Amino acid sequence: MTDTDPRFTALGARPGKIVAVHLSYASRADQRGRRPATPSYFFKPSSSLAPSGAEIVRPAGTELLAFEGEIALVIGEPARWVTPDAAWSHVASVTAANDFGLYDLRANDKGSNVRSKGGDGYTPLGPDLIDARNVDPAALRLRTWVNGEIVQDDTTAGLIFSLAQIVADLSQHFTLETGDVILTGTPAGSSVVVPGDVVEVQVDAGIHSTGRLRTTVVEGSRSFDAAIGSLPGVDDTQRTEAWGSAAAAGLTPPAPALTPALREKLGRVPVAALSGQLRKRGLNDVTIDGVHALTPGSRFVGTARTLRFLPHREDLFASHGGGQNAQKRAFDAVEEGEVLVIEARGETGSGTLGDILAIRAHARGAAAIVTDGGVRDAEAVAAVGIPVFTAGPHPAVLGRRHVPWETDVAIGCGGTTVEPGDILVGDGDGVIVLPPALAEEVVDAALAQEEEDAWIARQVASGHPVEGLFPMNAEWRARYESERQN
């Protein structure tokens, strides 16, 4: 196509490549429940570009076409191996973009976004360019409207990765050439649109503005052919991601595994009793070994929220240890009734938390903290009032032995695997992990066993020998059942 192609009106020419950032705004990351340590990217074809005023076609048989208002950067001088300090000088202009995605195709794309975001018209851009020399890249404002109602309003101050960092990072991997476009991610508020909806995006930089980029959604008449490739498919996970939340998607959230009634029952059962019942069901490796309550008498029940540390390495700590690292994100994200479980590989040669983070978890309503590593400021942590189970105190800071790496993943703590959402119970005997699917069955059996054991203890206390009574033979069993019924 020539440069007169209307798709490239705003740019004046077809760009060599379009690079898009997966996740870059803190508001969007918090909405998704995950915050990346470094930026990641995907490509969009130049054929996906469209001018302001164009229509976007939602293919027949699909339902999850979502908009993403974004700031687009247009490269001026080619950039290769540039530093963040020099990166902005390689940006010629700024404009508005809409990174549309068809979530019906997202699962089969497996992160590449080739089909889900590469369709014709899926990258409207424009209408006007702002000279990058006239703007502060840390003070750009992005707004999106759907049918005249504002749904996104954020600034580049809310980016996890600065615009200059994104340019510099990409330049490490390939040459950014004149005319290339970088889509810099979307803030919270992205959601699904349907035929008839009008989406507008605008970027402002002080007195300068791109004007509103306007796109109208229309229904397509053609559907995908199963004889050629995989068909669109949606599930509740994709609906939740596309709409922005389960509530926005009209979905009823799944019932919590740890209901108030189940929590109350678990609060009455010793960890030892739960261990016995799990053993009867073939589960022996469910205790978090080597941890003890920082405050004697501590007890808790809650669902797991996980944090993983890697062994210390200087270069990795330099890239992952500072700022809002995984450790701080975990303590900022833990919810009421959750247990923050930390994988520290049994390494007690440094702390994995101190009093400030314990206060943060307590303020968030966390049920407990469990770490198979050390705890700094042990006396101050104990005074906070939140149950903390640890392998022991240690005065050293985190960076002596650990790199904070990731959150909300399956981890190994004290020799057992803990998945997010597992149910944990802790008392003076230690900490045990309950698979949610078995929790109700196990606690009911444990309560019944506790009742039986209490009856046996009364018989022994009154002078009966344990032979035939513990465990009960048929005669004692009949007596026990008879007394229970009366």
Three-state secondary-structure class, residue 307: strand
Class of the 6-243 domain? alpha beta
Domains 6-243 and 285-434 share a fold: no
Helix (H) or strand (E) holding 452: helix 436-461
Buried b (16+ CB within 10 A) or exposed e, 61-91: ebebbbbbbbbbbbbbeebeebebeebbebb
Instruction: Indicate the pTM of the whole model.
Output: 0.63
pLDDT tens-place string over residues 286-333: 999 999 999 999 999 999 999 999 999 999 999 889 888 999 999 998
pLDDT tens-place string over residues 54-106: 999 999 999 999 999 999 999 999 999 999 999 999 999 999 999 999 999 98
> CA quadruple 325, 328, 332, 337: dihedral positive or negative?
positive
CA distances from 434 to 217, 288, 437, 447 (A): 48, 11, 8, 15
Burial class (CB in 10 A: 0-12, 13-18, 19+), 44: buried
Q: Mean pLDDT in the chain?
A: 93
Instruction: Indicate the pairing of strand 374-375 with strand 123-131.
Output: unpaired
Of 32-36, 286-290, 341-345, the poorest mean pLDDT is in 32-36
pLDDT at residue 482 in the model: 86
Whether CATH 3.20.20.100 fits 285-434: no
Domain ranges of the chain: 6-243, 285-434, 440-485
Instruction: Categorize the per-residue pLDDT at 349 as very low, low, confident or very high, splitting at 50, 70 and 90.
Output: very high
Instruction: Indicate the pairing of strand 149-155 with strand 181-183.
Output: unpaired
d(CA 108, CA 163): 30
Tokens of 168: 């510099």
Instruction: Categorize the per-residue pLDDT at 2 as very low, low, confident or very high, splitting at 50, 70 and 90.
Output: very low
The percent of residues above 90 in pLDDT, for the chain, comes to: 80
Is residue 165 predicted with pLDDT exceeding 60? yes
| Number of neighbours of residue 287 by Cβ within 10 angstroms | 20
pLDDT at residue 108 in the model: 81
